[in-house]
Amino acid sequence: MKQYEDVFLELLKAGMWGRKPQVPQGFAEWGSVVRLAKSQSVLGVVGQAMLSDEEIASNMPQEFRTKVKKFVMNNMLTHNLLNNTLIKVVSTLREGGVESVLLKGQGLARNYPQPELRQCGDIDLYVGLNNGEKAYELLSPIAVHADDKAYLTVGKHYHVTMPGGVEVEVHRYTDNHLTKKLEETYQAASDKGTSEGLVTYDFAGTPVNTPSDDFNAFFIFNHLFHHFLTSGIGLRQFCDWMMFLHTRKGKLDTDYLHKLLTDMELLGPWQAFGCVLADWLGMPEDEFPFFDRKQAGRVDKIVRRVLNEGNFGRERAIVKNRGTNYLLNKTRSFFGHTAKSIGLISIFPKPVWYQFKNTIVRGFAAVWADFRIKLKLS
């Protein structure tokens, strides 16, 4: 581990847990820390930890203090933009008779010590299979762009872009899984978790539903692990999961959660990623359900991949060198997934094999669906 990586992680832990960071005297690689925090989508938290510590701030070059302060301020503004957009979208759907469930994102920000510092992405709203078309008809008039209607029956979600450039993914499914058995187990859990025991937050007077805590604990990890195996993942997703579990300590139905993880064949990966939270992000072991120190042997390999690849793999050459040619990008993606799977097979053999087969099958299906839609084929 390089010194600037150690300092980055120290600042991230300090920001997440509200303590004073310990930075080596004379440390000067602030540019590397800022770039790494940005690639991991946690510069809001890390940047505020830098700025709020007088000793650290005084030792940073003025140009980096200015850049970080500007980023933190813009992140707060974006946070407000997403909240206001969420209110508008949820209210529009509700007035039209469609109840939605917020997945991840602004709901998880509520678990942070300072929610406005969580780096924002898009808005994911689950409406279910039966409401996909109705939601499209309600949102299209207030959107600046919406996917072709043909996408309403393809994949797990379609996109609408709201004023301000906020992307909204409207989900028909919360996710899909890799085998028939896993798919049946997952969809049963998803149906229950998005209809029973919903957790509702108040966004400026507008009630916004999120999944039940028991399902959400699994769902957040499932999303994180899926992207770790495919595109790549950043530490923001680890922080989301960690702070959710921290705020729900002692409130989860651990029998239900253990059975779901076992049935989904994900208990081992869950425990390995739990060691990442404990060893690298400062989570107390007793706050993590089913913590198992024996799974720690995979931690260093996991963390190294996360730090090298960046959030959603943005530091991977295949992403950084993406062009405009659709087929060329898909071909590059195929070879990139193949290489990534080979690199991961020693860490999580069975899930990697499942995911690789799934990527190939669904990747070709997605390409064919795109062409049918673009060429207006029936």
Give the integer Cα–Cα distance in Å for 241 and 253. Answer: 16
pLDDT reported for residue 312: 65
In a domain, 74, yes or no: no
146: β partners: 160
Domain that holds residue 14: 1-60
At 316-331, the pLDDT tens digits run 444 555 556 655 655 5
Residues 48/41, Cβ–Cβ less than 8 Å: no
Confidence of residue 311 (pLDDT cuts 50, 70, 90): confident
Q: Could you say which of 22, 43, 60 is where a domain stops? A: 60
At 41-99, the pLDDT tens digits run 999 999 999 999 999 999 899 988 999 999 999 999 999 999 999 999 999 999 999 99
In a domain, 204, yes or no: no
At 238-275, the pLDDT tens digits run 999 999 999 999 999 999 999 999 999 999 999 999 99
First-residue to last-residue Cα distance in the chain: 54
196: left (phi over 0), alpha (psi -120 to 50) or beta: beta
Q: Could you say which of 60, 75, 110 is where a domain stops? A: 60
In a domain, 167, yes or no: no
Contacts with 123 (C-beta within 8 Å, 6 or more apart), sequence order: 82, 85, 86, 89, 102, 105, 106, 166, 167, 168, 169
In a domain, 265, yes or no: no
What the block records as the tokens of 3 is 């010194």
Give 235: exposed, middle or buried? Use CB within 10 Å, 0-12, 13-18, 19+: buried
311: β partners: none
Confidence of residue 351 (pLDDT cuts 50, 70, 90): confident
In a domain, 44, yes or no: yes
This prediction has a pTM of: 0.87
In a domain, 347, yes or no: yes
In a domain, 56, yes or no: yes
In a domain, 118, yes or no: no
At 180-220, the pLDDT tens digits run 899 999 999 999 999 999 999 999 999 999 999 999 999 99
Q: Could you say which of 35, 60, 85 is where a domain stops? A: 60
Q: How many independent structural domains does the chain possess?
A: 2
